[in-house]
Chain A
Amino acid sequence: MIAQFLSYTFIQNALLASLIGAITAGIIGTYVVSRRMVFITGGITHASFGGLGLGFFLGINPLAGAAVFGLISGLGVEYLSKYQKIREDSVIAMIWSLGMAVGIIFISLAPGYAPNLMSYLFGNILSVSRSDLVVMSGLMVLVLAIFIPFFRLIQYITFDEDFARTSRAPVSLFKYILAGLVALTAVVYIRVAGIILVLSLLTIPQNTALIFSNNLKRIIFLSIGIGFAGSLTGLILSYTLNIPSGAAIIFSLVLIYLLASGVKSVIRTRERKTRPG
């Protein structure tokens, strides 16, 4: 059965997408979680639905439209966050719902029926094509090219932005680069997990990793491993039970999270027993 499972091209593509996705989302998600920009990322992802709708309407690749909207909202929020007078969370909520509204308006105006709407909302890793893989690999290379040489700088900026500024480090430049990467990652993985679920790829592995480590580098590696394991489990569940792959992956990731916190609390209880007081 395994041999048969692996012989399908769409399964091979899905496996590759899982691996590339786990690496990209493992790194970007760690930035998102440690800088506490989960809500911003949710806003960006949903705002990109506006671009998706526009893409349908104009008859171009919907994900290209989504990328443009995602980038504009990501960089826009980063720009606006400089001004303390603005209620950032309210602005995000506005962008969030505006994007969805614009998207649905364009889709309803588009001639004919938009057949893939469900797959954009909930994702389908089994429909990942070769050209999708090329885009995903490109993004992964870009993320690695920024994070490997500048890891320490990114860590310090994320930890204490003001202090990094006083060291005359190019803080703003990096915040924009990273906001752009977050937006692109969210949009590219709409294919895999959908607009509604993509946030979990960027947060559940990281929060699972945080149970075991407080070292940023280790959290990235653990997140990659956990993300890949969750995707594989989800893929197998999806294939054997014939359920939507995006949902199955998220379900597996949460399951791993619950298992991990269970294991951690058992370890803690044991430690307490062996070391009384």
Chain B
Amino acid sequence: MEKLIELRDITFGYGTEPVIEKANLEIFKKDFIGMIGPNGGGKSTLIRIILGLLEPWKGIVSVPASVNIGYLPQYQNFDNRFPISVEEVVLSGLLKKGKLTSRVTRDDKLKAREVLEKVGMLTFSRRSIGELSGGQMQRVFIGRALISDPDLLILDEPVTYVDNRFEHELYELLEAINQETAILLVSHDVGQILSSVKTIACVNHYLHYHPDNQLTEQILESYNCPIDLITHGHVPHRVLHTHPS
């Protein structure tokens, strides 16, 4: 298997105390990793380290320049009233170093149409991003992450704002994408992601990698990894108690 990225002994914090300690993670081609853990456990921090938005205190992040990462942030991070159309948001996913001055080509536009169709937002392409509902915005941002045909797709809490139907569609879409692309799916909600992912990384100050998707209460406890179980419909679930930190 071809290795895409590697984190070795990553330690990072915002103040004086580390949020993440000695985290190790390797992502290979065609991986589908579910990253779970409680809010504040360091999931998003680790993602931002992988993306190069944060420098770790210690440890090595190796992301070769040839590896193209598509990224879906948690959408509250941007200005919803910014004057930009849905199509332009998706096209912004083609931004690359060295192609900074490039004009939008006919191929780019076709590609944007294709991606918008895939996420079910084609009829909204001329709309301004601020006019959309939370779920519709999320679809558009998934489109932006997909348009560059990434080697690795990182989704940070992708189903927070979407409706049930799209949630289901999203998981189908991700399984299709996973034929070609590695996926790192971050969620504080383990119930929904277990059926799709192949392996699990549990992040709660430390990172524990679990090489299959069978999680038992014992495993979660031994990882000291309390998680929220929120889901919809008739899904059998258990509520795990939280551990003292």
Contact = CB atoms under 8 A, between A and B. Distances in A.
Interface of A: 34, 36, 149-150, 152-153, 155-156, 158-160, 162-170, 210, 213-216, 219
Interface string B69-100: 10101000111001111001100110111001
Contacts of B85: 214-215
B101 interface: yes
A222 B79 CA distance: 22
Contacts of A165: 51-53
A163 B88 CA distance: 14
B79 A36 contact: yes
A150 B100 CA distance: 7
Interface residues of B, number: 28
B95 A160 contact: no
B125 interface: no
A95 B92 CA distance: 35
B78 A168 contact: no
B82 A159 contact: yes
A156 B95 CA distance: 8
A222 to B, nearest CB: 11
Interface of B: 51-53, 65, 69, 71, 73, 77-79, 82-85, 88-89, 92-93, 95-97, 100-102, 104, 128, 130, 144
What 7 A-B pairs are tightest by C-beta distance, nearest first? A214-B128, A214-B83, A167-B95, A156-B92, A168-B97, A149-B101, A166-B51
Given A159-B79, A213-B83, 13 more contacts: A36-B79, A155-B92, A156-B92, A156-B95, A160-B73, A162-B53, A166-B52, A167-B97, A168-B65, A169-B100, A170-B100, A215-B85, A216-B84
B62 to A, nearest CB: 15
A166 B71 contact: yes
Contacts of B77: 160, 162
Contact of B130 (A158, A169, A213, A214): A214
A215 B83 contact: yes
Contact of B95 (A162, A169, A214, A215): A169
B73 to A, nearest CB: 6
Q: Which of A159, A166, A219 is packed against the most chain B CB atoms within 10 Å?
A: A166
9 contacts: A155-B84, A156-B95, A159-B78, A159-B89, A160-B78, A164-B92, A214-B84, A216-B83, A219-B83
A156 to B, nearest CB: 4
Given A165-B51, A166-B51, A166-B52, A159 B97 contact: no
Nearest to B89: A159
Nearest to B96: A167
